[in-house]
Amino acid sequence: MKHKHTKILFVIFVNLILLSGCSPIAEKNLIEEIAPVTFWSIQKGEDEKYRMSTLIPPLVKEHKRLLTVQVDLLKEGMKGFNLKYYRELKVGQLRMLLISEEIAKEGINPLIDTILTDPDISKRLYLAVVRGNFDEYINNQLKMQEDLDYYLYRMFKHYENQGKLTIINLHQFMKTLHSPAHSPVVPVFEASDENFQYLGTGIFSNDKLIETTNNMEEQIYQLIGNDHFLKYFAIRDLSIVLGHVKANSQLNIDKSYSELNLNVQLNGRLDEIARKHNILTSDELSRFESEIESYLEKQTTQFIKKLQENKVDPLQFRKYTLKPFSKPLDEKEWLNRWELMKLKVDYDLKIQPLTDIKN
């Protein structure tokens, strides 16, 4: 019986050791000796190297500053940060990975693979592509706003799942990257001395950025690709702004995969209109609605054709080819058919006017 109790105590002791951590080397992580990392900015450096940057997030009262290193590998960058700062930097709180547009066009798989293999880094960190010099923006804005890294994180957090901006985390990107029915997307921002401005949705072919939506394409993408509404939908060419716009899209692909029919029911209100438009009667409003419908049909068709030319499918049209009791098209066959598919886009617009109109 005594021998049995000894065995039980030994098993409990071993389990306690395993639960306390599987690393053979004990780490001393005193709170005054470590600092969490909020973001990594990765840009092109000299001699084919990466230029990695991060803000020192102090846990004591001190001014923030930007740390920058030139490295060949991400983990080398982490080591370089720690050699330049008196407290150990930890990546457990890494929340944003900001990649330069130049690197994104070449492919981001090497960066993503490194992060995925690190158990300390969350898969929920936000991904973004940056056009311009992000380091210059940070250095300039730190003079006015020391908590800039937290401000940027809260911005991503605020717009997540709202459908106003494209906000993507690492988990979502990897899910779409390995999905045969979806092209990955990432938000694209432009950095200057004074601004960090959202440009649009960056569309990827595998791990390479190939296209960024312009203003009209972005609004169309958000309407068709999301179940959310747009608070404002500006149509500059017609000098109008629609408000609280909600879209109900119905899509059909014929059995031969040769034609795509997209019907979009659009509901909203007329929030602003240029003075040259004079909508006083129901007939005039109907003509104006038809003009808007024709414009949106043309713009949407051009946008989808651009996707076809680039052989990408961020709107997941391929999923409409899946039928019960039939074998789905493989990726290569779908892309070949998708490139040649004829388009028919039809909008049905119902808008509320600014004022009461006459019949």
Tens digits of residue pLDDT in 212-248 = 999 999 999 999 887 668 889 999 999 899 999 999 9
For the chain, the domains span: 27-212, 214-359
Nearest to 176 by CA among 131, 217, 127: 127
At 93, list the tokens.
């709180």
Distance (Å, whole) CA 131 – CA 138:
14
Q: What is the mean pLDDT of residues 272-290?
A: 77
pTM of the model: 0.85
- Looking at domain 214-359, its CATH superfamily turns out to be Nutrient germinant receptor protein C, domain 3 (3.30.300.210)
Nearest-5° Cα angle at 129, 232 to 84: 130
The number of residues making up the chain comes to 359
More confident residue, 8 or 270: 270
pLDDT at 187 over 80: yes
Q: What is the mean pLDDT of residues 259-288?
A: 83
Of all residues in the chain, the percent with pLDDT exceeding 70 is 83
- Cα distances (Å, whole numbers) of residue 157 to 98, 115, 165, 230: 15, 21, 11, 18
Distance from the Cα of residue 87 to its chain's centroid: 32
pLDDT at 20: 47
pLDDT at 62 over 80: no
pLDDT at 9: 52
333: amino acid identity, one letter: E
pLDDT at 108 over 60: yes
Distance (Å, whole) CA 58 – CA 67:
13
